[in-house]
Amino acid sequence: MQALAPSSSAVRIRLAEGGATIVDGPFADPAEMLAGFGVLEANSKEEAIAKACALPLPDGVNELELEVRLGGCPGGCDAVPDAGLVRQGKRFAIILRSSAALEAEAAVPQARLDALNVHNAAEVQAGVLVSASGLRSSAIGARAKRSKQQWAVMDGPFTEIKELIAGYWMVQVPAMQDAIAWALKNPYPTGPVVEVEIREVRPAAVRPFTPEAAAEQRMRESQLDSAMRGALAGGR
């Protein structure tokens, strides 16, 4: 899991034909901001939700909301998995804000996707790009909210487009200004208006993952998966 630094150190960039607008944080809309993110593999959305809900919680956190989204993009774009290499510098997440067109999975010219894939591969080779992935529409995603030690799951789509994310790039560079420069030159396949938020990435402080905690996680995954499958079967 990756934790994101508060928005007080964040930057938002709006790219349009007229140029770029850069706004420094903090931002007053916490409902639109991520606290952290992670990537996991699963055979189904139900399994992904169960795994996400069973992860150890950050220290001091008992109530939270998770959004589970399928990685990828319409037309095909190459994901960049984190290889876990040790690099110099700070990590920054360049988070692509969604739009009506992205939520509708409007077709993107293949030439743009190909250019992005080539650029990403070169940035990996240069030791700058750590990981990257697009996110499919929230229509095939879900949200899970924990309150009073109980989880409530709601399937997408979600209508608050300004709160949704369409993808991310994670880079390792010396400072925020370098991350901004990287974001400005990135060949985004969407447009003509692109909005991104840049946040410093910090290791999440989670409870120690002991063998007992691992066994408890597996049990919670099984219970959550069974409960959700039962709920889906009952709704048919």
Lowest mean pLDDT among 19-23, 119-123, 217-221: 217-221
* Residue 233 maps to a domain: no
* Residue 234 maps to a domain: no
What backbone torsions phi and psi does residue 85 show, to the nearest 5 degrees?
A: -75, 145
- Residue 31's pLDDT is 65
Q: Quick one: tokens of 78?
A: 């190459």
* Residue 7 maps to a domain: yes
* Residue 163 maps to a domain: yes
Question: Which 3-state string (H, E, C) describes 194-212?
Answer: EEEEEEEEEECCECCCCHH
Please say if the pLDDT value at position 225 is more than 60: no
Domain with 97 in it: what CATH number? 3.30.70.1060
- Residue 78's pLDDT is 86
* Residue 231 maps to a domain: no
| Residue-range definition of the domain harbouring residue 123 | 2-224
* Residue 192 maps to a domain: yes
- Residue 1's pLDDT is 75
Q: Report the distance separating Cα 78 and Cα 116, nearest Å.
A: 9
pTM of the complete model: 0.83
Count of domains forming the chain: 1
* Residue 195 maps to a domain: yes
